[in-house]
Amino acid sequence: MGTFSIWHWLIVLVIVLLVFGTKKLRNMGGDLGGAVKNFKEAMSEEKNKSSELPRQGETHGSTIEGEVKDKQQS
């Protein structure tokens, strides 16, 4: 009684199809597939960016110059 049989799953599937309709389910499946595809592409792009670290002396950006006035120990 604790597990679902194939008949339970078929009834749930029929109810879901009646509530949402096949067109809406097809659109949700396509949207989910597109989201997974975009996520995988973004992850591969991020992996490529992190492997292209600047070499020694090739840093990009600005340098902040300053002077230490007084050093206090706590």
CA dist 62 and 19 (Å) reads 58
Tell me the per-residue pLDDT of 12-37, one tens digit each, with 9 for 90 and over.
Answer: 999 988 988 888 888 988 999 999 99
pLDDT the model gives residue 20: 87
When pLDDT is averaged across residues 56-61 and rounded to a whole number, the result is 61
CA dist 19 and 64 (Å) reads 61
CA dist 19 and 28 (Å) reads 14
On the question of pLDDT at 8 being above 90, the answer is: yes
The whole-model pTM stands at: 0.44
Longest Cα separation, the chain: 79
Tell me the per-residue pLDDT of 40-54, one tens digit each, with 9 for 90 and over.
Answer: 999 888 877 766 555
**DSSP track, 35-73:** HHHHHHHHHHHHHHHHH-PPPTT---S------------
On the question of pLDDT at 55 being above 80, the answer is: no
